A = this chain, B = another copy of it.
């Protein structure tokens, strides 16, 4: 199989995963009951906005706003190509000798309306320079951490990792804990998950299968956790705690997140990059 076939299969999968996730979230919007149920708000729907990158490629933002379950959730896909600027060539594996790159991925950030439902993030991507690799992961940020949710979220990713390599889980869980750390606050962004990057085992099919499984794992476990709490009533104090946690989330994304910085500095699609920011946040 040629690299072009691999690129096509990867980007087709990211699109397919996006479709599966959006359909499942719209179904949750239809079935939710409780304090944000059908008597107050119409079920949320995704709105899709395609965009072109002048230098090559483009993407599609899918954003649901003001839903019953999801106050704001964005699922972006993009496939872009071009040449890295001088300053990035030294930072990206394989770009030093030849600045051309291709990158495709799907990324998701979910800000639920109900403070008892955790914020969540998932991203998987394939990058090609003179080298090629996969990266991604999923992590959970509850406002009020519940041991059973955290345990099940980690167990799901452990099962996914163990299916592919017994060394993956420990390594990628630790990487996640290290990465999603708000340095200036001295606190973790959430309760973790997994994070991996530069994955090239030498077997593209195996790495692609793992990346697909990471996406499927998140696709399945997050709605399960949502379902446990989406009908739980909340108080004004719960909502305020959620707004403060979202403020910390925004701090991480704007001050620390490599992907956000990279995107903003390289003239990426600002709306798509900052889709991760919360619909409302507070710094009281």
A279 and B279 form a contact (CB under 8 A): no
Distance in angstroms between the alpha carbons of A281 and B251 in the assembled complex: 12
Asked if A250 CB lies within 8 Å of chain B CBs, one says yes
CB contact between A284 and one of B65, B183, B185 (< 8 Å): that residue: B65
CB neighbours of A185 from chain B (8 A): 270
Residue A278, interface by CB 8 Å:
yes
- Binary CB contact string for chain A from 267 to 284 against chain B (1 if under 8 A, 0 otherwise): 000100010011111111
A203 to B226 alpha-carbon distance, docked (Å): 65
Which residues of B are found within 8 Å of A251, using beta-carbon distances? 254, 274
Contact of A280 among B243, B264, B277 (CB under 8 A): B243
Interface set, chain A 211-256, CB cutoff 8 A to B: 243, 247, 250-251, 254-255
Cβ of A274 to closest chain B Cβ, rounded Å: 7
- Residues of A in contact with B, size category: 20 to 34
Which of B255, B270, B280 has a CB less than 8 Å from the CB of A281? B280
Q: How far is the CB of A280 from chain B (nearest CB, A)?
A: 5
Main secondary structure of the interface of A (DSSP, over half): helix
B282 and A280 contact, CB distance less than 8 A: yes
Instruction: Please report the C-alpha to C-alpha distance between residue A55 and residue B284 in the assembled complex, in whole angstroms.
Output: 28
From A277, which residue of chain B is reached at the shortest CB distance? B283
Q: How many angstroms between the C-alpha atoms of A44 and B270 in the bound complex? A: 37
**A254→B250 contact, CB < 8 A:** yes
Cβ–Cβ < 8 Å partners of A270 in chain B: 184-185
> A280 to B240, alpha carbons, bound, how many Å?
10
In the complex, chain B residues whose CB is within 8 Å of the CB of A254: 250-251, 254-255
Establish whether residues A274 and B283, one from each chain, have CB atoms under 8 Å apart when the complex forms.
yes
Q: Closest approach, in angstroms, between the C-beta of A221 and any C-beta of chain B?
A: 26
What residues of B have a CB within 8 angstroms of the CB of A72 in the complex?
283-284
Complex A-B: 28 CB contacts under 8 Å: A65-B284, A72-B283, A72-B284, A183-B264, A184-B264, A184-B270, A185-B270, A243-B280, A247-B281, A250-B250, A250-B254, A250-B281, A250-B283, A251-B254, A254-B255, A255-B255, A255-B264, A274-B283, A277-B283, A278-B283, A279-B282, A279-B283, A279-B284, A280-B280, A280-B282, A281-B281, A281-B282, A281-B283
Chain A residues in contact with chain B, CB under 8 A? 65, 72, 183-185, 243, 247, 250-251, 254-255, 264, 270, 274, 277-284
